[in-house]
Structure 1
Amino acid sequence: MRSIIGRNLVKLLSNANLNKNLLKSTNNPYKINSAKFHTTNLLNYEVTDLSPNDYYQSSEKTMNNLFEQLEELLEEEDNSAYDLEYQSGVLTLKLGVNGTYVINKQPPNQQIWLSSPHSGPKRYNFDLKEETWFYHRDNSTLKNLLETELKEVFDKNIELSI
Structure 2
Amino acid sequence: MKASRHLLRSPRPSVLFRRPCPSPTQRLTVPASSSLLSFSRPRAPFSTTLTTPKGLQPDSSDPKSPNTEPSPGTPSGAAQISDSEYHEIADQYLNTLVLAMEELAESSSEGIEAEFSAGVLTITHPKHGTYVINKQPPNKQIWLSSPISGPKRYDWVVPGDSQHEKADSTVDLGDDGQSGGKWIYLRDGSSLSDLIKKELGVELRHGGEGASDVNEGREGPAKSGANTAP
TM-score bracket relative to the smaller structure = 0.5 to 0.7
In the alignment, structure 1 residue 75 sits paired with structure 2 residue 106: yes
Higher RCO (CA-CA < 8 Å; seq separation 6+): 1
Over aligned residues, Cα RMSD in angstroms?
2.3
Instruction: From the two aligned structures, give the one with the greater strand fraction.
Output: 1
2:124 aligned residue: 94
CA contact (8 A) 2:155 2:186 kept: yes
Structure 1: tracts of 5 or more residues without a match: 1-40
2:89 aligned residue: 58
1:16 aligned residue: none
In the alignment, structure 1 residue 122 sits paired with structure 2 residue 190: no
Runs of 4+ in 1 over 4 A off after TM superposition: 155-159
TM-score under structure 2 length normalisation:
0.47
CA contact (8 A) 2:143 2:151 kept: yes
Partners of 2:158 and 2:87 in 1: CA distance: 13
Matches within 5 A, 1:125-144: 125-129=155-159, 130-144=180-194
Which structure has the larger Rg over C-alpha atoms? 2
CA contact (8 A) 1:90 1:102 kept: yes
Residues 85-131 of structure 1 deviation map (CA, whole Å, 9 limit, x = unaligned)? 11111000001232011000000000000000100000000014531
1:5 aligned residue: none
Cα drift, residue 77 of structure 1: 0.4
> Aligned pairs, how many?
118
Residue identity matched to 2:83 = P
1:146 aligned residue: 196
Partners of 1:158 and 1:82 in 2: CA distance: 18
Cα drift, residue 76 of structure 1: 0.8
Residue identity matched to 1:143 = S
Instruction: From the two aligned structures, give the one with the greater helix fraction.
Output: 1
Residue identity matched to 1:116 = S
SS at match of 2:135: strand
In the alignment, structure 1 residue 44 sits paired with structure 2 residue 75: yes
2:206 aligned residue: none
TM-score under structure 1 length normalisation:
0.66
